[in-house]
Amino acid sequence: MTLTGSGSAYDPPAGAAPRRPAAPSPVGEHGPPRRLDRRVALVTGASSGIGAATARRFAMDGWHLLLTGRDRHRLERTASGTSAVVLPADLAAPDGPRLLAQSALHTTGRVDVLVAGAGIGWVGPFAAMPHTDIDRVLTLDLNATLHLVREVLPSMIAAGQGRVVLIGSIAGCVGVPEEAVYSAAKAALAAFSEALRQELRGTGVGVTLVVAGPVDTPFFARRGKPYDRSHPRKVPPGCVAGAVWDAVREDRDQVYVPGWLVLPDRLRTLSPKVFRHLLNRFG
């Protein structure tokens, strides 16, 4: 099976081999940072899909945007018609999260909201999954996100305000066959969000977990297998973007997209035996 991107920071240009872009400029290279009156959102995975839709939704309300991904040309398309700043970065590189955070803070002086949407998938039996692909999924979907949050968080705490938005998945709540590592990474994000939320109580900084079902993005085709289930149906990326926007505006800790996905998650918790019976029967 193949490992591919999800409309995120890891999509190479169409028809081109993957390339590693230069790291963002670190703090101090071009003088002191600018400080903006408008609120600032840093969006990862902004090349397309959920990240691009989220960026456009925030732009509609006048936010200043910092957009990151590996493909500069796709980021520029997302930024078209807005005042967004494009910051190409490789979050899977050892220093990728640190350099991105430094560049973001240098550019605007602060980050009010971090939307961590970059991710990749892999589909197939776990016993057949190459070790290198296990590492790649965990590196981007989990490790890079945690390191980026760690780099951005101190400035939010110092400012006494901010919000971290983690794009999770229903796969992290219920587990999906042949997506074991992806499910594990998203489950870890869910646990991380809860633990971090408790740590940050009283600081003015919030944490939101967005639990998304299948979304109509290139993610499924690029992971090596198209989405072939009749249910649940895929939702447009704009639905997830709207949920992110509402969660930030209303200081919500957790949202499901679509909303009914809260039911299987709660059933798994309250009655695991019934949940597994239904899962085995209906998939």
Instruction: Give catalytic residue positions.
Output: 182
Q: Is the Cβ–Cβ distance between 148 and 44 less than 8 Å?
A: yes
CB 99 within 8 A of CB 89: yes
What angle do helix axes 237-250 and 49-60 make, rounded to 10 degrees? 50
Choose among 159, 169, 268, 246: nearest CA to 203: 159
Whole-angstrom CA distances from 193 to 112, 168, 186, 237 are 17, 10, 11, 22
CA separation for the pair 48, 15 (Å, rounded): 16
81: nearest Cα among 109, 96, 60:
60
Alpha helices in 237-271 (DSSP H): 237-250, 262-270
Count how many residues are written for the chain: 283
* Measured torsion, CA atoms of residues 241, 11, 73, 215, in degrees rounded to the nearest 10: -20
Q: How far apart are CA 147 and CA 101, in angstroms?
A: 10
Under 8 Å between Cβ of 240 and 215: yes
